Amino acid sequence: MFDNKDKTNLNELGEFGLIEYLTKQVELTQKSSVKGIGDDAAVLDFSNYKTLISTDLLLENVHFDLRYVPLKHLGYKAIQVNLSDIYAMNGMASQVTISIGLSSKFPLEAVEEIYEGALIACKKYGVDLIGGDTSASTQGLVISVTSIGYAETDKIAYRSAAKEGDLICVSGDLGGAYVGLQLLEREKQIFLENPNIQPDLEGKDYIVERQLKPEARKDIVELLAALEIQPHAMIDVSDGLASEILHICKASNVGCKLYEEKIPIDPMTYETAREFGLDPTVCALSGGEDYELLFTIPQDDYDKVKGQLDISVIGHITEASAGYQMISKSGNVHDIKAQGWNAFKSEE
Ligand code: ADP
Ligand code: MG
């Protein structure tokens, strides 16, 4: 949490002063950005590309908890999770808008930290901040990000385009963000009970980062293009592997067969899940917030992905009547069900 002592009250700047202050260092770098901040609307030109648009709303105490999420990370993550949706269409992100609702408990320095994180993410991913809206809020902090991107018509990967026989692939590893959250929640409880105890997150950097500082997989979109692979269906893993593969299967009217042993799980995720008495596979299937890309590719492209360390082939697409199945490590067949976050919440 931030400390309001000696901080600047937002009223001193006013709305326009705040916008100007926060956006003074913003530069436009994308060819498609014709006009950014400063008029009634931004102006974009995507020539002969299709335009991709995605938006997210983040509410304090619903989507984030300021007791353990640093504001800079919050700004960074707000941008990342949004860009992830553009990459999940196999497109490139080019612009974002950021809208914020601020309650009076936030001084200028707090908002500045959010923007600092957001602008670091924009810069790193080469996207232009082209506008937003700013308002007072009586309900805590509200952040909404809209991202805009582009793709060639025949490169766009819809959820509905998976074909029977396709290989199911996922980038990176899964479950880490959820296990990281468990760790942060545990430390928060300890802190609430005894504020003198400092959080013990030592040696757990990877999974804490997976939760607080996710990275959208722009690199995977670029890698697929370099490997000359046109993914059939693609989605980003925001709610857990189970939920996402079901989205693809239902939209494409196909079934799937996943192999538990092929699901990529980082050793730290695995061990920490075990410490919490959680099944690491369940964390991957139902945890969420990993922001990896889940996609299907034609079988003929297997040779192109097989040497790629950052892409795992975890199963294949079947006909719809075969259902949604996972073969466990011991060879048992399980039906895949979407559980999302609720699977864990109901256990609490
Ligand atoms: P309007 O009254 O027409 O909504 P605003 O005064 O809200 O205009 O916004 C003026 C300019 O500043 C616009 O270009 C808008 O997109 C931009 N802007 C407003 N709030 C933000 C924000 N939080 N982040 C980035 N740009 C913003
Ligand atoms: Mg406005």
CA of 25 to the centre of ligand 1 (A): 15
pLDDT at position 325 is 96
Flag whether pLDDT at 342 surpasses 50: no
> What does the alpha-carbon distance between residue 98 and residue 96 come to, in Å, rounded to a whole number?
7
pLDDT at position 346 is 36
Query: Which amino acid is located at 139 in the chain?
Result: Q
The predicted model scores a pTM of 0.92
pLDDT mean over 65-69: 88
> What does the alpha-carbon distance between residue 118 and residue 215 come to, in Å, rounded to a whole number?
13
**Residue 134, marked binder:** no
**pLDDT tens by residue, 237-291:** 999 999 999 999 999 999 999 999 999 999 999 999 999 999 999 999 999 999 9
The residues of the chain that CATH labels 3.30.1330.10 are 10-155
pLDDT at position 44 is 97
pLDDT at position 347 is 36
pLDDT at position 344 is 41
pLDDT mean over 156-162: 98
pLDDT mean over 45-67: 94
Q: Which two tokens stand for residue 149?
A: 């991107």
- Do 290 and 177 contact (CB within 8 A), yes or no? yes
> What does the alpha-carbon distance between residue 325 and residue 176 come to, in Å, rounded to a whole number?
23
For 43, how many CA atoms within 13 A lie in the half-sphere containing its CB? Answer: 5
Locate the ligand 1 atom nearest the alpha carbon of residue 23 and give its number: 25
User: Residue-wise over 172-210: b if at least 16 C-beta within 10 A, else e?
Assistant: bbbbbbbbbbbbbbebeeeeeeeeeeeeeeeebebbbeb
Flag whether pLDDT at 66 surpasses 50: yes
Q: Which of 37, 112, 137, 148 to mutate to test the pocket of ligand 1 (most atoms within 8 A of CB)?
A: 37
pLDDT at position 208 is 93
pLDDT at position 200 is 72
- Do 7 and 107 contact (CB within 8 A), yes or no? yes
Burial degree of 345 (CB within 10 A; 0-12, 13-18, 19+)? exposed
**pLDDT tens by residue, 259-273:** 999 999 999 999 999
**pLDDT tens by residue, 110-131:** 899 999 999 999 999 999 999 9
Topology of 10-155 in CATH?
Answer: 60s Ribosomal Protein L30; Chain: A; (3.30.1330)
Tell the residue number behind the tokens 């980082």, with chain if given.
Answer: 266
**Which is nearest to 287 in space by CA: 171, 178, 174?**
178
**pLDDT tens by residue, 166-205:** 999 999 999 999 999 999 998 888 877 887 776 677 788 9
Proximal ligand: closest to the CA of 101: 1
CATH superfamily of 159-335: PurM-like C-terminal domain (3.90.650.10)
Flag whether pLDDT at 92 surpasses 90: yes
CA dihedral 104, 108, 113, 119 (to 10 degrees): 110
Residue nearest to atom 20 of ligand 1 (CA): 133
The residues of the chain that CATH labels 3.90.650.10 are 159-335
Strand partners, 142: 59, 101
> What does the alpha-carbon distance between residue 241 and residue 218 come to, in Å, rounded to a whole number?
19
pLDDT at position 343 is 40
Sequence-ordered alpha helix ranges (H) in the chain: 14-23, 71-87, 108-125, 176-193, 205-212, 218-226, 241-252, 267-275, 280-286, 302-305, 342-345
**Which is nearest to 52 in space by CA: 221, 168, 224?**
221
> What does the alpha-carbon distance between residue 43 and residue 128 come to, in Å, rounded to a whole number?
12
**Model confidence band, residue 2 (pLDDT cutoffs 50, 70, 90):** low
> What does the alpha-carbon distance between residue 203 and residue 201 come to, in Å, rounded to a whole number?
6
Flag whether pLDDT at 23 surpasses 80: yes
CA of 71 to the centre of ligand 2 (A): 23
pLDDT at position 85 is 98
Flag whether pLDDT at 209 surpasses 80: yes
Percentage of the chain lying above the pLDDT 90 cut: 79
Tell the residue number behind the tokens 């596979």, with chain if given.
Answer: 281
pLDDT at position 287 is 92
Flag whether pLDDT at 84 surpasses 90: yes
Q: Which of 26, 33, 128, 133 to mutate to test the pocket of ligand 1 (most atoms within 8 A of CB)?
A: 133
Residue of higher predicted confidence among 190 and 133 = 133
- How confident is the prediction for the chain on average, in pLDDT? 92
Rounded to 5 degrees, what angle do the CA atoms 11, 16, 22 make? 90
